[in-house]
Amino acid sequence: QQKVQQSPESLIVPEGGMASLNCTSSDRNVDYFWWYRQHSGKSPKMLMSIFSNGEKEEGRFTVHLNKASLHTSLHIRDSQPSDSALYLCAARTSSGQKLVFGQGTILKVYL
Amino acid sequence: EAAVTQSPRNKVTVTGGNVTLSCRQTNSHNYMYWYRQDTGHGLRLIHYSYGAGNLQIGDVPDGYKATRTTQEDFFLLLELASPSQTSLYFCASSPQGNYAEQFFGPGTRLTVL
């Protein structure tokens, strides 16, 4: 069964700093990645998605994808306390109708 | 934004008990999903459906049944609840298509004593 591994398990950055989160799939048929954000006590909400090699930027958030290594990363610049949350990476295979989620990275941004 | 509601929001039952979790989406989405969330495991897919009467098995289906009665309603059934099923359960929906975003409900916290 496909596995999605995220690292680190937790991350602490100062306000205004850069946070970098990683995600790798073990399934060579994966062709699409999502990043979801889940604030404490809330439900997950989609942050960004990527399926092409390279990077995609939306405001303070940048996602990279290397399809050869099945590795994606999420970078948050100028981190804010409101960015403190659980970040979940999800992957979809080209033949599937479902997502497989990683275990998540807990990000804490301190003042 | 897509609206997904779940009920109850909290449920406590005993081992061997019967539990039904309900999910409704009002956005005419074809796909609906049931996940459980446990610390260290992220979200794990239990069952999903792509339309009324359809059911697909997810990655952790043991001990769970599901039924999609209408396009709007998807139910998760635990007929003989066990303490290992204590978890936070999320329902999600998405439009047709492999690459559509999933929209999550608020979650149901289930405790099996």
For the stretch B86-98, pLDDT in tens is 999 999 999 876 6
Minimum Cα–Cα distance from B37: chain A residue: A103
Whether the predicted pLDDT of B2 surpasses 80: no
Residue B15 has pLDDT above 90, yes or no: yes
Q: Is A60 helix (H, G, I), strand (E, B) or coil?
A: coil
- Identify the DSSP state of B39: T
Give the residue, B46 or B1, on which the prediction is more confident: B46
Query: Looking at the predicted structure, is the pLDDT value of residue B10 above 70?
Result: yes
Q: Is the pLDDT of residue A46 over 80?
A: yes
**What is the pLDDT, as a whole number, of residue B41?**
82
- What does R_g of chain B's alpha carbons equal in angstroms? 13
pLDDT bracket for residue B40 (50, 70, 90): confident
Cα separations in angstroms, A13 against A38, A63, A70, A78, A84: 18, 18, 26, 10, 10
Name the percent of chain A lying above pLDDT 90: 82
Please report where in the chains the tokens 């940048």 appear, as a residue: A62
Q: Residues A105-111: what's their mean pLDDT?
A: 96
Q: How many residues does chain A have?
A: 111
Q: Does the beta-carbon distance from B43 to A97 stay under 8 Å? A: no
Q: Is the pLDDT of residue A13 over 80?
A: yes
Beta strands in A1-111 (DSSP E): 4-7, 10-14, 19-25, 30-38, 45-50, 54-58, 61-66, 71-76, 85-93, 100-101, 105-110
Q: Which positions in chain B touch A104 (Cβ < 8 Å)? A: 42
Q: B110, B21 in Cβ contact below 8 A?
A: yes
Residue range B25-31: mean pLDDT, rounded: 93
Q: Do A103 and B42 touch (CB under 8 A)?
A: yes
Compare CB distances from A43 to B31, B56, B104 and report the shortest one's residue.
Answer: B104
Residue range A65-76: mean pLDDT, rounded: 96
